[in-house]
């Protein structure tokens, strides 16, 4: 195929104009074969002009892509159009994939007929700038999102899962979090010189979940020796990067050759370990992996992920401290709230204590059962006002005091009066509500009195619930006294329910309305009391409680019935 030649004219020659420009220019025939390429395109392509003549772009540079359908439309209707050429040529470039924007015009050449003339300009730098700008915006948005998406609760597992879900797949294919374990309750400590990590959360794309399950081996912990990349991160507070890692490099992360095989089987080619540090103290680490066609981690990835880790470390540390303090607070609560005394053999009881979900503070709720003379059992439900250790300690004092007074065997209205008087005399500055009920299996009755406490309820053998509205006396600690009792019939199979306000109190609803709502429930009246309480709580509540809940159930025991235990 002959090469197209420029006609010479007056003034500046056309060839000098075309061949002197820095813009690539090509001339194509009706089948998009090259008739001419100028020196600018020769320099870009890295190939001599003779390599192009008579051949299409795909035949000469297969790694370059151009929408040829647009070019055929220009040939058809003569309307100039723009097209984008992208890919790589034989000339290396720090930009990697290059980008040109070209305009194609139809021209009629002597002896050639309709042809195309294309003039291009490289926009790789501009495209890269726009891509970098968009990436920066996305990462800033990710950092901003972390403030609302990570640490939404004080639950450690939830917080760690929120972190890995934010990282994968936005910045990595696989992410896992391990938390430094400082308490070894229930398991032997790690070997000397080892640091224990608890596997908490992970995220991976479909088909790679098995890697998360197998990576840390069996059990909830990983004991990490010195010399391992993970340990180095925790000791130095600096991340560790292994891009396009060899098996030897993976060994620095895993120690166990079998785990290196797991990485390879999952297609992981690059690893990044980022420490979770707060107040110069290691909290844990994040392990991130990229697989398949994903690019290795770059400096921008490292900066972004480290910033996310720094923010997440504060939330994770708060959740960890909350979990620890919450556990310790509950242990204190259980120590102060000892099991109720064994009731009279003719009465069976079951109890529940459920802390609120809003804080680690223990509360002042308590319950008790005290055997009395003549086969009777005194049932107690109390609530010291306030939260915290002081309320819990006051609760323990009140409970011990009430047990001492109840031993006198007087009527419950007299017990409440004496209880109120002694609390006022002792100068305990916390008021308390209290409900007393004496079950008398021989008489088939229940006698109850209230010191400002919510009324008890009874579960009839048919499954219906009835609230027993008692005369309301003043709370314990006022020194006012004046309590009245009420006696009701308790047929065999009837269950008495005592509870604190956390069971029924709902924000924005009058407490009396909430108590009356109990009568709309229907429960199985037979079977173990523990099962009945579980059903009762499941039907009445949804999610975490706004306040501590204590509940005590009691009924006359069948002669051959099972023994229930308080929990």
- The answer to whether position 434 is within a domain reads yes
Q: Which of 63, 93, 122 is the last residue of a domain?
A: 122
By the 8 A CB rule, do 322 and 154 touch?
Answer: yes
The pTM for the full model equals 0.52
**Are residue 118 and residue 137 in the same domain, yes or no?**
no
Of residues 250 and 359, which shows the higher confidence score?
250
CATH number of the domain at 471, please: 3.60.40.10
**Are residue 377 and residue 260 in the same domain, yes or no?**
no
**Are residue 351 and residue 300 in the same domain, yes or no?**
no
Most confident segment among 310-319, 339-348, 444-453: 444-453
Q: Is the pLDDT of residue 358 over 60?
A: no
What mean pLDDT do residues 522-535 have?
A: 90
**Are residue 40 and residue 104 in the same domain, yes or no?**
yes
Tell me, what's the pLDDT at 541? 66
- The answer to whether position 2 is within a domain reads no
Tell me, what's the pLDDT at 559? 56
Q: How far apart are CA 377 and CA 344, in angstroms?
A: 6
Q: Residue 517 gets which letter from DSSP?
A: G
**Are residue 150 and residue 175 in the same domain, yes or no?**
yes
β pairing state of 25-28 and 34-37: antiparallel
Contacts by 464-469, CB closer than 8 A, 24 or more apart: 464/519, 464/522, 465/497, 465/518, 465/519, 465/521, 465/522, 465/523, 466/519, 467/515, 467/516, 467/518, 467/519
Tell me, what's the pLDDT at 1? 47
In the block, which residue shows the tokens 């509205």?
469
| 161 phi/psi in degrees, rounded to 5 | -65, -35
Tell me, what's the pLDDT at 77? 93
Tell me, what's the pLDDT at 565? 44
Q: How far apart are CA 498 and CA 457, in angstroms?
A: 7
- The answer to whether position 566 is within a domain reads no
**Are residue 116 and residue 208 in the same domain, yes or no?**
no
In the block, which residue shows the tokens 């797991």?
262
What mean pLDDT do residues 444-449 have?
A: 95
- The answer to whether position 548 is within a domain reads yes
- The answer to whether position 347 is within a domain reads yes
pLDDT in tens, 461-514: 999 999 999 998 999 999 998 999 999 999 889 999 999 988 888 777 888 998
What secondary structure does DSSP assign to 157-226, as a single string? HHHHHHHHHHHTTTT-SEEEEEEE----TTSPPPPTT-EEEEEEEEE--TT-HHHHHHHT-SSSEEEE-T
Q: Is the pLDDT of residue 337 over 60?
A: no
Tell me, what's the pLDDT at 446? 95
- The answer to whether position 157 is within a domain reads yes
Confidence of residue 349 (pLDDT cuts 50, 70, 90): very high
Q: Can you give the length of the chain in residues?
A: 567
**Are residue 118 and residue 175 in the same domain, yes or no?**
no
**Are residue 215 and residue 299 in the same domain, yes or no?**
yes
Chain centroid offset of residue 249 CA = 31
Tell me, what's the pLDDT at 563? 44
Q: Is the pLDDT of residue 404 over 80?
A: yes
> What average pLDDT is seen over the chain?
85
By the 8 A CB rule, do 38 and 15 touch?
Answer: no
β pairing state of 363-371 and 377-387: antiparallel
pLDDT in tens, 94-121: 767 888 899 999 998 877 789 999 999 8
What mean pLDDT do residues 170-186 have?
A: 87
Tell me, what's the pLDDT at 289? 94
**What angle in degrees, to the nearest 10, is found between the helix axes of 299-336 and 156-167?**
170
Domain that holds residue 118: 14-122
Q: Is the pLDDT of residue 560 over 70?
A: no
CATH number of the domain at 174, please: 3.30.450.40
Total tally of structural domains belonging to the chain: 3
CATH number of the domain at 49, please: 3.30.450.20
**Are residue 506 and residue 369 in the same domain, yes or no?**
yes
Q: How far is CA 75 from CA 59, 304, 515, in A?
A: 21, 49, 84
What mean pLDDT do residues 291-311 have?
A: 90
By the 8 A CB rule, do 199 and 163 touch?
Answer: no
What mean pLDDT do residues 183-188 have?
A: 74
Q: Report cis status (omega within 30 of 0) of the bond before 169.
A: yes
pLDDT in tens, 1-51: 445 555 444 445 566 778 888 889 999 999 999 999 999 999 989 999 999
**Are residue 210 and residue 308 in the same domain, yes or no?**
yes
Tell me, what's the pLDDT at 8? 47
**Are residue 28 and residue 109 in the same domain, yes or no?**
yes
Q: Which of 308, 328, 348 is the last residue of a domain?
A: 328
- The answer to whether position 561 is within a domain reads no
Residue % of the chain over a pLDDT of 90: 43
**SS3 annotation, 371-413:** ECCCCCEEEEEEEEEEECHHHHHHHHHHHHHHHHHHCCCCCHH
Tell me, what's the pLDDT at 238? 92
**Are residue 137 and residue 117 in the same domain, yes or no?**
no
Q: Which of 328, 359, 384 is the last residue of a domain?
A: 328
Tell me, what's the pLDDT at 62? 93
Q: Is the pLDDT of residue 518 over 50?
A: yes
Q: Which of 186-200, 284-298, 358-372, 390-404 has the lowest mean pLDDT?
A: 358-372
């Amino acid at each position: 195929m002959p090469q197209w030649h420029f006609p010479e004219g007056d003034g500046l020659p056309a060839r000098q104009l075309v061949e002197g420009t820095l813009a690539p220019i090509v001339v194509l025939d009706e089948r998009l074969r090259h008739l001419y390429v100028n020196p600018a395109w020769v320099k870009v392509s890295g190939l001599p002009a003779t390599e192009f003549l008579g051949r299409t772009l795909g035949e000469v540079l297969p790694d370059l892509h151009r929408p040829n359908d647009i070019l055929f439309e220009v040939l058809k209707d003569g309307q100039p159009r723009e097209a984008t050429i992208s890919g790589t040529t034989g000339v290396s470039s720090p930009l990697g994939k290059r980008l040109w924007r070209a305009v194609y015009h139809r021209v009629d050449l002597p002896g050639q007929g309709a042809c195309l003339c294309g003039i291009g300009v490289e926009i790789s730098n501009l495209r890269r700038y726009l891509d970098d700008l968009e990436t920066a915006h996305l990462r800033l948005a990710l950092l901003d999102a972390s403030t609302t998406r990570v640490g939404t609760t004080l639950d450690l597992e939830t917080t760690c899962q929120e972190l890995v879900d934010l990282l994968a797949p936005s910045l990595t294919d696989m992410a896992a979090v391990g938390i430094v374990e400082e308490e070894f309750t229930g398991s032997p400590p790690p070997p000397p010189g080892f640091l224990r990590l608890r596997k908490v959360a992970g995220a991976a794309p479909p088909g790679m979940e098995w890697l998360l399950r197998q990576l840390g081996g069996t059990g909830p912990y990983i004991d990490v020796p010195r010399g391992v990349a993970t340990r180095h991160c925790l000791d130095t507070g600096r991340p560790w990067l292994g891009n396009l890692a060899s098996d030897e490099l993976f060994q620095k992360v895993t120690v166990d050759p079998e785990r290196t095989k797991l990485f390879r089987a999952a297609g992981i080619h690059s690893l990044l370990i980022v420490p979770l540090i707060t107040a110069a103290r290691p909290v844990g680490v994040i392990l991130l992996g990229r697989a398949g066609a994903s690019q290795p981690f770059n400096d921008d990835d490292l900066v972004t992920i480290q910033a996310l880790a720094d923010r997440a470390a504060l939330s994770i540390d708060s959740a960890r401290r909350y979990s620890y303090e919450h556990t310790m607070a509950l242990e204190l609560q259980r120590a102060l709230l000892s099991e109720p005394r064994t009731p009279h053999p003719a009465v069976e009881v079951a109890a529940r204590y459920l802390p609120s979900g809003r804080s680690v503070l223990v509360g002042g709720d308590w319950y008790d059962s005290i055997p009395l003379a003549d086969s009777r059992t005194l049932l107690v439900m109390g609530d010291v006002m306030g939260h915290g250790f002081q309320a819990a300690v006051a609760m323990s004092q009140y409970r011990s005091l009430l047990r001492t007074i109840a031993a006198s065997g007087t009527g419950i209205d007299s017990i409440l009066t004496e209880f109120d008087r002694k609390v006022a005399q002792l100068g305990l500055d916390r008021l308390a509500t209290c409900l007393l009920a004496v079950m008398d299996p021989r008489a088939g009755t229940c006698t109850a009195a209230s010191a400002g406490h919510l009324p008890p309820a009874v579960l009839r053998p048919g499954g219906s619930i009835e609230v027993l509205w008692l005369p309301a006396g003043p709370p314990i600690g006022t020194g006012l006294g004046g309590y009245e009792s009420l006696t009701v019939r308790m047929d065999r199979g009837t269950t008495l329910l005592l509870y604190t306000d956390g069971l029924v109190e709902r924000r924005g609803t009058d407490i009396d309305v909430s108590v009356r709502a109990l009568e709309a429930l229907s429960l199985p009246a037979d079977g173990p009391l523990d099962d009945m309480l579980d059903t009762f709580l499941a039907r009445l509540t949804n999610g975490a409680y706004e306040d501590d809940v204590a509940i005590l159930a009691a009924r006359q025991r069948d002669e051959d019935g099972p023994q229930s235990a308080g929990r």
